[in-house]
Amino acid sequence: MKAARAKTPRRPAPKKPSNPSLKDPVGVYCRVRPLSRPDQECCIEVINETTVQIHPPDGYRVFRNGEYRETQYSFKEVFGTLVIQKELFDVVAKPLVEDLIRGKNGLLFTYGVTGSGKTHTMTGSPGDGGLLPRCLDMIFNSIGPFQAKRFVFKLDEKNGVDVQCEVDALLERQKRDAMPVPKTPSGKRQIDPEFADMINVQDHCKVEEVDEDNVYSVFVSYIEIYNNYIYDLLEEAPFDPIKPKFLVFSPPLRPPQSKILREDQNHNMYVTGCTEVEVKSTEEAFEVFWRGQKKRRIANTQLNRESSRSHSVFIIKLAQAPLDADGDNVLQEKEQITLSQLSLVDLAGSERTNRTKAEGNRLREAGNINQSLMTLRTCIEVLRENQMYGTNKMVPYRDSKLTHLFKNYFDGEGKVRMIVCVNPKAEDYEESLQVMRFAEMTQEVEVARPVDKPLCGLTPGRRFRNQQSVSEMLLQSFPPLPSCELLDVNDDQTLPKLIEVLEKRHRLRQMLSEEFAKNVLTFKTMLQEFDSSVVSKENYIQGKLSEKEKIIAGQKMELERLEKKTKTLEYKIEILEKTATIYEEDKRNLQQELESKSQKLQRQASDKRRLEARLQGMVAETTMKWEKECNAPPVRLRHRRSRSAGERWVDHKPPSNLPTETVMQPHVPHAITVAAASEKALAKCDKYMLTHQELASDGEIETKLIKGDVFKTRGGGQAVQFTEIETLKQESPTGRKRRSSPSNPNPPEDAADAEWTDVETRCSVAVEMRAGSTLGPGYQHHAQPKRRKP
């Protein structure tokens, strides 16, 4: 469709499809509804059978260069205000029904503003049925004598269909007949009188070329898309439950559950768990439709008293399969089944929310409706751009349930037809413009044609071949009639011959009748015998069932007893497990307590042994010292000479060092004494000694002499490799004992009680220190120890 509008910037030339014969454009039709009042202002005018013209009303006049602006839109066909439903059906929907019976899919939806006639076009009104009842009527007029018995075709839950044998189908029919069905007083099915005339179209329209060697079954389902959720309108659960007043407490009824979209093995989208009803007539199908129509969500808006606030989708599925070679039964091969689908969609109204005066829930509904329609427009735009300009943009089908459900149609699973319904009144001018622009874009989209399914390869005419052969055999068994032409009044040969032939035919007919009666009697006897055998077998089965029921009852009692015993044992086990847990916890606590006490005892024994050894050593040292002092002359203090006195040393004594004034005071002759590390001093000497003091754990001063060798490095510097550590420590043999004695917390500090012992220990190390680097924190002494009297 092209519109005569102002010039716009030129776009790149569209690319033509490589094979146009394999694609069909989306068929867009326009229907203009009549004005509700003669005095209403009109803004849409039908120019011809394919073009409409829209002009702004008085309140929306637009001027361009001083001229009145009018816009024309072209459609595949335009239906004016005087068109009848049958004419619309013949042009738009009839080809889709023909494709459905030939095994191809179709999609037809009505689009427009609220109050533009979408529901009237799809459903119709009393006495004037719409597209939906006419489609149903055409389907059943075409396949009526070729329908399969109920339950021969059975839909699965994965958008597929299976063929059942006659026995399984018969069992399901008996099961359905055994179920209680509410009946009307007349015993017949009745439809609401208001809509009874919708299905009485009286057109007797049907498809001319129907494969008579196939059997057919029709399944219908009815869903709605409301607030971007999918609901099944044929579910038995009521939508608005009413609690009885005489019940104080009534169980709440389950609200309708939203359905999920899934993809079958052929990559077609379908609604999981949707109710699909097999119907055998137009009346039965329309009754199912009207049952779901009562549950559809309808709310009053400013534009329409009964405005549909949801998208409704009525799906007609046609299953067909060929007869076998004998023409008696359905071919039991799933590959030969053809399942086609026709979806009739009545979209919700597309208009601005400020015109509907919607509030609260109605406003949210309007937003969801506009969002889903906007997603439909976006998908159409992307499809059109991909096809015309060769782009490969992703079509956002999944952004809305409406587009996600019908994505297969636009990908090439059937024909797509759209009826744009418009209301010519002036109030709908802006919305009508949006509808026209969307339709302009839609009919430029091309949909690929589905591939035809190959034929089954069986001989055609199988259905009626056996019936014709039986009638021919009966006619051949009768003797032929002679010529009945009387040439003379006195001819006495023709009549006797005719009488003789007729008598033979009469006798043959009596003989066939007797044989038929005999066969009927035989068949009746067989049926009686079969019935009696069935009754006996039923009695036998009933007896066996009663015995089995008794056995099952006994087993149930035994099972209940064992279950009670099991529960008792489980309760005892639970108690034992709790008791074992308590015992294990106590055991762990006792083990921890035992380990802590044993460790404490071990520490006490170790301290005791260490104290005994120390006391013995102190006693022995004290004894030796007293013996030397008693037997030898007094000795004056002297300095201990280093064992390496013949070498050149650097004596590094930090300023924080304190003189110990003990007998073992170290002294290195000819040494260079420095207070900080000096590279010049290292260059003149070959030995290095660092004096380091720190407080011991008992509060005494501990002196460490860290010694090392000085050698030259490759870079011309000096390096020190530490080789030995001498430790000098002062200890009082009696002072520690006195300090730790509780009876004498303040020991005397006279010379007799404070006797000292010099202890020397040596330790070899291998540590390398570069000249010029500072010593670590372990070699610095900052605290001033408390000096004791020597």
Q: Is 124 annotated as a binding-site member?
A: no
Please state the rounded mean pLDDT for residues 481-504. 72
Q: Residue 774: its pLDDT value, please?
A: 35
Please state the rounded mean pLDDT for residues 198-204. 67
Please state the rounded mean pLDDT for residues 746-771. 44
- Token match 């989306």: residue? 26
Sort strands 269-271 and 307-308 into parallel, antiparallel or unpaired. Answer: unpaired
Q: Residue 246: phi, psi to the nearest 5?
A: -85, 0
27 has pLDDT over 60: yes
- Token match 């007043």: residue? 245
Q: Which residues of 139-149 are buried (b: 16+ CB within 10 A; e: fewer)?
A: bbbbbeebebe
Q: Residue 422: phi, psi to the nearest 5?
A: -130, 145
Q: What single letter denotes the amino acid at residue 18? A: S
Confidence of residue 419 (pLDDT cuts 50, 70, 90): very high
Please state the rounded mean pLDDT for residues 580-599. 94
Count CB-CB contacts under 10 A for residue 49: 11
Question: Encoding tokens for residue 593?
Answer: 């307590």
Please state the rounded mean pLDDT for residues 576-600. 94
Q: Is 114 annotated as a binding-site member?
A: yes
CB 538 within 8 A of CB 530: no
506 has pLDDT over 60: yes
Burial level of 665, CB count in 10 A (0-12/13-18/19+)? middle
375: closest CA among 352, 400, 353? 400
CB 733 within 8 A of CB 622: yes
Q: Residue 676: its pLDDT value, please?
A: 86
Residue 154 sits at the vertex; the CA angle it makes with 149 and 160, to the nearest 5 degrees, is 140
Please give the Cα distance from 309 to 169 (Å, whole number).
40
- Token match 């490589």: residue? 18
Q: Residue 768: its pLDDT value, please?
A: 39
133 has pLDDT over 50: yes
366 has pLDDT over 70: no
Write the secondary structure of 758-787 as one string of H (helix), E (strand) and C (coil). Answer: EEEEEECCCEEEECCCCCCHHHCCCCCCCC
Q: Residue 200: its pLDDT value, please?
A: 65
Question: Encoding tokens for residue 177?
Answer: 């007949």
Burial level of 550, CB count in 10 A (0-12/13-18/19+)? exposed
Question: Encoding tokens for residue 435?
Answer: 């509808």
Q: Residue 639: its pLDDT value, please?
A: 45
Confidence of residue 192 (pLDDT cuts 50, 70, 90): low
Please give the Cα distance from 13 to 8 (Å, whole number).
14
CB 123 within 8 A of CB 88: no
Confidence of residue 8 (pLDDT cuts 50, 70, 90): very low
Confidence of residue 369 (pLDDT cuts 50, 70, 90): low
- The number of CA neighbours under 13 Å toward the Cβ of 344 is 27
Please give the Cα distance from 50 to 314 (Å, whole number).
29
Q: Is 113 annotated as a binding-site member?
A: yes
Q: Residue 735: its pLDDT value, please?
A: 53
Span of 256-260, 338-342, 623-627, 637-641 with lowest mean pLDDT: 637-641
Q: Residue 13: its pLDDT value, please?
A: 42
Q: Residue 596: its pLDDT value, please?
A: 94
Radius of gyration of the chain (CA): 55
Burial level of 487, CB count in 10 A (0-12/13-18/19+)? exposed
Q: Is 761 annotated as a binding-site member?
A: no
Please state the rounded mean pLDDT for residues 390-400. 91
Q: Is 717 annotated as a binding-site member?
A: no
Q: Residue 194: its pLDDT value, please?
A: 57
80 has pLDDT over 70: yes
Q: Is 119 annotated as a binding-site member?
A: yes
CB 663 within 8 A of CB 728: no
CA 86 to chain centre: 44
Q: Is 772 annotated as a binding-site member?
A: no
| DSSP letter for each residue of 281-313 | SHHHHHHHHHHHHTTS-EE--SS-TTEE-SEEE
Please state the rounded mean pLDDT for residues 9-38. 69
| 3-class state of residue 719 by DSSP | strand
CB 376 within 8 A of CB 352: no
Q: Which residues, in sequence order, are CB contacts of 448 under 8 Å at separation 6+? A: 22, 23, 411, 412
Q: Is 774 annotated as a binding-site member?
A: no
More confident residue, 407 or 753: 407
551 has pLDDT over 70: yes
Confidence of residue 581 (pLDDT cuts 50, 70, 90): very high
Max avg pLDDT among 92-101, 185-194, 429-438: 92-101
Please give the Cα distance from 658 to 668 (Å, whole number).
17
CB 69 within 8 A of CB 396: no
Torsional sign, CA 433, 436, 442, 443: negative
Torsional sign, CA 501, 503, 509, 515: negative
Please give the Cα distance from 395 to 405 (Å, whole number).
13
Count CB-CB contacts under 10 A for residue 403: 21
Confidence of residue 781 (pLDDT cuts 50, 70, 90): very low
199 has pLDDT over 70: no
Count CB-CB contacts under 10 A for residue 668: 20
Please give the Cα distance from 414 to 395 (Å, whole number).
18
**What is the pLDDT of the chain when averaged over all its residues?**
78
Confidence of residue 557 (pLDDT cuts 50, 70, 90): very high
Q: Which residues, in sequence order, are CB contacts of 186 under 8 Å at separation 6+? A: none
Please give the Cα distance from 315 to 96 (Å, whole number).
13
Whole-model pTM: value is 0.57
**In this prediction, what percent of the chain has a pLDDT beyond 90?**
31
Please give the Cα distance from 127 to 179 (Å, whole number).
35
Please give the Cα distance from 29 to 439 (Å, whole number).
9
Q: Residue 431: its pLDDT value, please?
A: 87
678 has pLDDT over 60: yes
513 has pLDDT over 70: yes
Please give the Cα distance from 226 to 369 (Å, whole number).
8
97: closest CA among 420, 417, 448, 421? 417
Q: Residue 245: phi, psi to the nearest 5?
A: -75, -25
Q: Which residues, in sequence order, are CB contacts of 646 under 8 Å at separation 6+? A: none
31 has pLDDT over 70: yes
What CA dihedral angle connects 496, 497, 500 and 506, to 10 degrees? -120
Please give the Cα distance from 651 to 681 (Å, whole number).
9
Please give the Cα distance from 361 to 283 (Å, whole number).
36
522 has pLDDT over 70: yes
